[in-house]
Amino acid sequence: MDKKLIVLDLDGTTLKDDQTISKRTAQALQKARNYGHEVMIATGRPYRLSELYYKELALSTPIVNFNGAVFHHPLDSHFADSYHQSIDLAIVRELLDFTLDFPLSNIAAEVQDSVFLKESNDSVPETFRSGVRQIFIGDLKNNIQADPTSLLFFGQKKELERISTHLDHSLSEVISYHTWGASWPAVEVVKHGIHKAVGVKAAANTLGFDRKDIIAFGDETNDLEMLDYAGVGVAMGNAVPEAKNAANYITASNEEDGIALYLEENLPL
């Protein structure tokens, strides 16, 4: 059969709920590589929070971070096809003004390896502080001096819906956004037109794969474009309804070795 490019979302997909990769999944991915297939990661995480899994799987492929805003090769500092798509700082400041009086639990921004938080509290995942070169707490509008990779608003459903409506009506031509799941309700803003499929397409071009030979695994709304773009989109059993609707197949959950089960049944491992 044709060689495949296997694309992995991390949270809720490759990772179990305890943030580990099961032995069966790791073995299935290694067997796939032994047969000549390629494996890569496409995640909403920054690289500092995905590096552990990149190394654990002993990958040698490019990686997609920040939901497609960053594409690079961890093993090649001179990788010619790398890119970093950031949000215009003027747009970020406009959004910060718009939400100034919202009772949000927090606002976060990432500029390369620096993190900016409005509040020093537990309203954002602890991972935001992991491996960070610098953390700035306080007034984001004055603290951020460069175009951010992403901007996140954490809060209750009502406030997040108001932000989403504003983005749809006023800024849809300059930004894109994704919503986070129930554990950490948030709206994540990135540059217009940026999503995981952008990075996956770049990786496929670099590695020499046709779209039809891409198998992508995901579980959340930030995986929708990737699942639709791939020749075969596979949603996890624990995926949100939108992801299941976008996928070609539904496998078992992240707690039930869903990736391994699909690969074992559909590739000659």
In 66-113, beta strands by DSSP E: 70-72, 83-84, 106-111
d(CA 223, CA 245): 12
d(CA 38, CA 45): 21
Annotated active-site residue in 9, 219, 223, 257: 9
d(CA 232, CA 4): 10
Q: What is the dihedral of CA 139, 145, 151, 154, to 10 degrees?
A: -10
d(CA 80, CA 71): 11
Structure tokens at 162: 């108001």
210 annotated active-site: no
**Catalytic sites, residue numbers:** 9
